[in-house]
Structure 1
C-alpha cells in the first residue's frame, strides 16, 4: 500500500483491522496534527500495519481483555507530526510531549526502524476502569506488575494523569519500565 494521498486512500488505510478490537484509524488520531492541519499518515503503510498488528495483538488486546476498554491517547505519529511536537516541546509549549524523530523511530513512528535496524510501535493508552479502581499514589504499579508478569513488551512509560502509559512492542524487548508518576524513575518488579 502506498502513502495515502487522498481521502479515499486514507479511508482505506483507516479501515485496516489490526486486531479484534483495533483498526488503523484508531491509531492515526493526533491532536497535534489536528490543531496544526497536518495529515498523520505513515510513509510506509505496510510496515506500519505489520508493526501495529503486533502491538495490538500482543499487548493491547491482552491488556484490554484483563483490565477493560482501552482508550488510545496517542499511537502512530508521522515524522512531520512528531518533529513539530518535538520542536514545540523544546520551545516550552504546553501539551507537546514528543521526543526527537530519532528517539521515536520504532516507537511512535512505527514505519521507521530504530538506530539498530529494529522494528517497534508505541501507543499511549488509558484504561478508564483501571483508573476508576486504582487512584492511590503508586497504584500504576499494579498494572506494571501485571504487564511485566504476563506480556512480552518492549518498554512501558507511566504518566500521572489517569495512569496513562506508553506501551511499546519491540522486536528486541528491553522489558524496561519508567515512570513520571510517583514513584518516579526506573521501576523494578521487586519494588
Structure 2
C-alpha cells in the first residue's frame, strides 16, 4: 500500500478490514495524537496491515466471540506519537521497546513482526464493577 499522503489514502487505509469485526481505523485512535496534533500513521502500511490482521484474527476475534464486543483502548502508535508519549510521561515505552508491539510497522531486534492492542471487555467491566475478581 502506498504511503498515506492524502485524505483519500487515509480514508482507504482506515477502511482496510483486518478481520470479520475489525477495521484499521479502530486501531489508529490516539489521545496523544489528537491532543498534540501528531499524525498517528504507519510508514510501512503493508506491515501494519499484515500484523494487524494476525492480531485480529488470532486474538481479538476469539475474544469477541467469547465475551461480546471488544473495545480497543490503545493499539497502533507511530514512531513520533510513541516517542512523544515516552518523552512526556504518557505511559509509552521507548520506541525500541515498542517495535513489534504498539509500533506495528517496525520489526523488533530479532526481526519478529507483531502487533499489540490494549482492549476493554465491556462484559467483564460490568462484572468487575460489581466486585468480580479479575483473575477469575
Which ranges in structure 2 are unaligned for 5 or more consecutive residues? none
Calculate the aligned-residue CA RMSD, in Å. Answer: 1.1
1:131 pairs with 2:125? yes
CA drift of 1:131 comes to 1.1
* 2:95 equivalent in structure 1: 101
Q: Which has the higher helix share?
A: 2
Q: Which has the higher strand share?
A: 1
**Does the Cα contact within 8 Å between 1:51 and 1:110 map onto a contact in 2?**
yes
Q: Distance in 1 between matches of 2:124 and 2:68?
A: 7
CA drift of 1:133 comes to 1.5
* 2:28 equivalent in structure 1: 28
Larger RCO of the pair (alpha carbons < 8 Å, separation 6+): 2
Q: Distance in 2 between matches of 1:134 and 1:29?
A: 25
Q: Which deviations, in whole Å up to 9, do the C-alpha atoms of 1:125-175 show, x marking residues without a partner?
A: 0011111113437x2223xxxxxxxxxxxxxxxxxxxxxxxxxxxxxxxxx
Q: Which deviations, in whole Å up to 9, do the C-alpha atoms of 1:33-72 show, x marking residues without a partner?
A: 0101111111000000000000000000100110121111
1:77-88 map, 5 Å: 77-88=77-88
Length-normalised TM-score, structure 2: 0.95
Q: Hey, which bits of structure 1, 4+ residues long, moved more than 4 A?
A: none
1:58 pairs with 2:52? no
Length-normalised TM-score, structure 1: 0.69
Q: Distance in 2 between matches of 1:39 and 1:106?
A: 19
* 1:179 equivalent in structure 2: none
Q: Distance in 2 between matches of 1:18 and 1:26?
A: 10
Q: Distance in 1 between matches of 2:97 and 2:43?
A: 18
Q: What's the secondary structure of 2:52's corresponding residue?
A: helix
**Does the Cα contact within 8 Å between 1:33 and 1:40 map onto a contact in 2?**
yes
